[in-house]
């Protein structure tokens, strides 16, 4: 029994030692965006306003925190790539009529970003939207931080 505990502790220390350098190598970035429309993330409706966004390269979880409304959302994401390097950090929203859904987060100076899965509400709305006639889904882009200046 004692050997099992010692092996478990060694394995835990090894995992911690391997993960610490990467945690310190990628400093946390908190970027700001002022959105003039309400939107949804993971079935949660958020009001228009100023938000702080924390998205780190190589991490699957992103944080959106309302500055004025004091609401926050954590979302699991998947890595996505672009053929070109993004100059500005941006949020990309899928729009159906007057409803907006956060779909992508891009950090400036990189060709990789984070994709958010469509929620059940978005999938249902997209199906109804497609059946009601040929209307294109609109993507809306919001710039994070200062447009034209890559965030570092």
Indicate whether 78 pLDDT > 90.
Answer: yes
Q: What is the value of pTM for the model shown?
A: 0.72
For range 101-116, the mean pLDDT: 89
Out of 41-50, 58-67, 98-107, 135-144, pick the least confident. Answer: 135-144
Q: Which residue has the higher pLDDT, 7 or 102?
A: 102
Out of 12-21, 70-79, 93-102, 125-134, pick the least confident. Answer: 12-21
For range 60-82, the mean pLDDT: 91
Specify the DSSP element, H or E, that contains 9.
helix 2-25
Q: Please name which of 114, 27, 108 lies closest in space to residue 64, comparing C-alpha atoms.
A: 114
Residues forming beta bridges with residue 35, ordered by sequence position: 49
Instruction: Report the distance separating Cα 28 and Cα 7, nearest Å.
Output: 33
Indicate whether 99 pLDDT > 80.
Answer: yes
Cα 29 versus chain centre, distance: 12
**CB–CB of 100/136 below 8 Å?**
no
pLDDT in tens, 16-68: 333 333 333 344 567 889 999 999 998 899 999 999 999 876 789 999 999 98
Q: Which residues of 141-152 are buried (b: 16+ CB within 10 A; e: fewer)?
A: ebbbbeeeeeee
Indicate whether 15 pLDDT > 50.
Answer: no
Confidence of residue 147 (pLDDT cuts 50, 70, 90): very low
Q: Which residues of 31-52 are buried (b: 16+ CB within 10 A; e: fewer)?
A: bebebeeebbbbeeebeebebe
* pLDDT given for residue 8 in this prediction: 42
Cα 9 versus chain centre, distance: 34
């Amino acid at each position: 029994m004692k050997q099992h505990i010692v092996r478990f502790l060694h394995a835990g220390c090894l995992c911690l030692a391997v993960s610490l350098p990467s945690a310190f190598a990628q400093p946390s970035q908190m970027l700001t965006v002022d959105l003039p429309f309400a939107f949804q993330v993971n079935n949660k409706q958020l009001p228009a306003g100023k938000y702080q966004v924390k998205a780190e390269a190589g991490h699957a979880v992103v944080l959106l925190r309302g500055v004025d409304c004091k609401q926050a959302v954590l979302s699991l994401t998947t890595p996505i790539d672009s053929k070109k390097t993004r100059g500005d950090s941006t949020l990309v929203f899928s729009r159906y009529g007057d409803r907006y859904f956060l779909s992508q987060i891009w950090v400036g100076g990189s060709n990789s970003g984070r994709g958010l899965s469509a929620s059940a509400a978005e999938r249902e709305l997209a199906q109804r939207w497609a059946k009601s006639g040929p209307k294109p889904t609109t993507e809306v882009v919001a710039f994070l931080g200062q447009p034209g200046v890559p965030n570092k």
